[in-house]
């Protein structure tokens, strides 16, 4: 990517406008829009992979992470010709399938990327994501909680990949074979949630109201559903450390890292060293678990 970003840049044969390249988006980390666009280009093979062919919601921070922000579902105008969009439930979504589109959104100060949990034009989930959401801004037990959930999934015969949300939580991704419904995955999620809250009642809750959770970690099995989104793997987040939602190994989780340890300034080196850990687990069948749950319910 050119060092002197000013006016427009040519990316994959497309002209991408760049405005205010010296604007500080993450003041504490010293990341200007120019640096941000360079980091997005570095992340693009991975961020584009997990937003490909999905309905995209972004969160924009025109004045930087400490300024006002807003969620963008409808594609902003004017639209360059290289930006693909699709209409879904009366919303014209951006489908971020190429680098020029990513950098165009980055220039608009789109800092967070939240794709749909299903592909464009389809209604089946393309992955299963468990969201562990702390009730406190600083939660030293979040990696311990993730470890427990990973062990329970493993006992069910499921391989999973934990990732930092980039904010305060952890998400656990279970690659699944295509064809399962959202309702079927929700039933498995509810089963795992009930089990983990009964086994570790001091740590987990499935209480939906935040005011009633105390200091417990919310096992959110409801977020994984049609029409909802979760922060993409490798999306930056609007946090002072410029953290990035980063897949981890379970060994790393057991070392109790902080989400801020993985950020825009070091994510490139990490990927070059470790690769994309989400690619280490192949899609798996959950049919055996579903049959077990169906049989259990039929006996009740």
pLDDT of residue 236: 98
For all residues of the chain together, what is the average pLDDT? 94
pLDDT of residue 129: 96
Please report which helix (H) or strand (E) contains residue 55, including its range: strand 54-60
pLDDT of residue 299: 43
Checking if the pLDDT of 5 tops 90, the result is no
Q: What phi and psi, each to the nearest 5 degrees, are found at residue 101? A: -65, -40
pLDDT of residue 1: 46
pLDDT of residue 292: 86
- Give the mean model confidence (pLDDT) for residues 281-289: 95
C-alpha to C-alpha distance for 171 and 233, rounded to whole angstroms: 10
Q: Which residue has the tokens 């192949």?
A: 282
The residues, ordered by sequence, that sit 6+ positions from 295 with a Cβ below 8 Å of its Cβ are none
C-alpha to C-alpha distance for 144 and 256, rounded to whole angstroms: 7
C-alpha to C-alpha distance for 63 and 193, rounded to whole angstroms: 39
pLDDT of residue 171: 97
Q: Give the model confidence (pLDDT) of 160-218 as tens digits.
A: 999 999 999 999 999 999 999 999 999 999 999 999 999 999 999 999 998 999 999 99
pLDDT of residue 174: 97
Nearest to 222, CA basis, from 211, 203, 208: 208
Q: What phi and psi, each to the nearest 5 degrees, are found at residue 95? A: -115, 105
Q: Is 93 helix (H, G, I), strand (E, B) or coil?
A: strand
- Looking at the chain, the whole-number percentage of residues with pLDDT higher than 90 is 93
Q: Give the model confidence (pLDDT) of 44-85 as tens digits.
A: 999 999 999 999 999 999 999 999 999 999 999 999 999 999
Q: Give the model confidence (pLDDT) of 88-115 as tens digits.
A: 999 999 999 999 999 999 999 999 999 9
- Looking at the chain, the whole-number percentage of residues with pLDDT higher than 70 is 96
Nearest to 227, CA basis, from 125, 143, 107, 83: 125
The residues, ordered by sequence, that sit 6+ positions from 5 with a Cβ below 8 Å of its Cβ are 18, 21, 34, 37, 38
pLDDT of residue 296: 64
pLDDT of residue 13: 95
CB atoms within 10 A of CB 84: 16
Burial degree of 70 (CB within 10 A; 0-12, 13-18, 19+): exposed
Checking if the pLDDT of 4 tops 50, the result is no
pTM of the model: 0.94
pLDDT of residue 137: 87
pLDDT of residue 42: 97
- Give the mean model confidence (pLDDT) for residues 273-293: 95
DSSP sequence for the chain: --SS--EEEEETTEEEEE--TT-EEETTTTEEHHHHHHHHHHHHHHHHHHHTTEEEEEEE-TT-TTS--EEE-SPPSSPPTT-EEEEETTEEEEE--SHHHHHHHHHTTEEEEEEEEEETT--SBSSEEEEEE-SSSS-TTHHHHHHHHHHHHHHTT---EEEE-SSS-EEEEE-B-TT--HHHHHHHHHHHHHHHHHHSTTTEE--S-GGGSTTPEEEE-SSSSTT-B-PPTT-B-SSTT-BB--B--HHHHHT---GGGSBTTTHHHHHHHH--GGGGS--B--HHHHHHHHHHHHH-
The residues, ordered by sequence, that sit 6+ positions from 143 with a Cβ below 8 Å of its Cβ are 170, 253, 254, 255, 256, 257
Q: Give the model confidence (pLDDT) of 127-140 as tens digits.
A: 999 999 999 988 99
Radius of gyration of the chain (CA): 20
pLDDT bracket for residue 295 (50, 70, 90): confident
pLDDT of residue 2: 44
């Amino acid at each position: 990517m050119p060092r002197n970003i000013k006016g427009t840049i040519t990316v994959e044969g497309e002209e991408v406008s760049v405005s205010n390249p010296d604007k500080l988006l993450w003041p504490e980390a010293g990341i200007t829009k120019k640096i941000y666009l360079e980091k997005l280009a570095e992340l693009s093979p991975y961020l584009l992979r997990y937003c490909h062919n999905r309905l995209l919601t972004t969160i924009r921070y025109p004045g930087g992470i400490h300024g006002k922000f807003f969620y963008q579902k409808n594609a902003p105008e004017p639209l360059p010709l290289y930006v693909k969009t699709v209409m879904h439930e009366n919303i014209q979504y951006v489908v971020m399938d190429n680098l020029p589109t990513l950098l165009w959104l980055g220039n608009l100060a789109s800092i967070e990327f939240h794709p749909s949990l299903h592909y464009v034009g389809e209604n089946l989930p393309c992955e299963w994501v468990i969201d562990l959401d702390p009730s406190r801004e600083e939660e030293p037990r979040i990696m311990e909680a993730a470890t427990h959930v990973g062990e329970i999934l493993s006992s069910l015969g499921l391989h999973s990949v934990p990732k930092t949300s980039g904010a305060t939580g952890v998400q656990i991704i279970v690659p699944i074979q295509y064809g399962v419904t959202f309702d079927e995955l929700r039933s498995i999620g509810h089963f795992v949630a009930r089990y983990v809250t009964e086994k570790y009642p001091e740590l987990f809750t499935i209480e939906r109201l935040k005011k009633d959770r105390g200091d417990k970690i919310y096992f959110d099995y409801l977020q994984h559903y049609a029409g909802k989104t979760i922060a993409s793997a490798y999306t930056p987040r609007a946090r002072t450390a410029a953290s990035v939602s980063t897949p981890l190994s379970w060994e790393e989780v057991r070392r109790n890292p902080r989400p801020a340890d993985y950020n825009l300034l070091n994510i490139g080196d990490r990927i070059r060293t470790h690769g994309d850990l989400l690619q280490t687990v192949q899609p798996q069948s959950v049919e055996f678990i579903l049959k077990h749950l169906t049989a259990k319910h039929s006996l009740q």
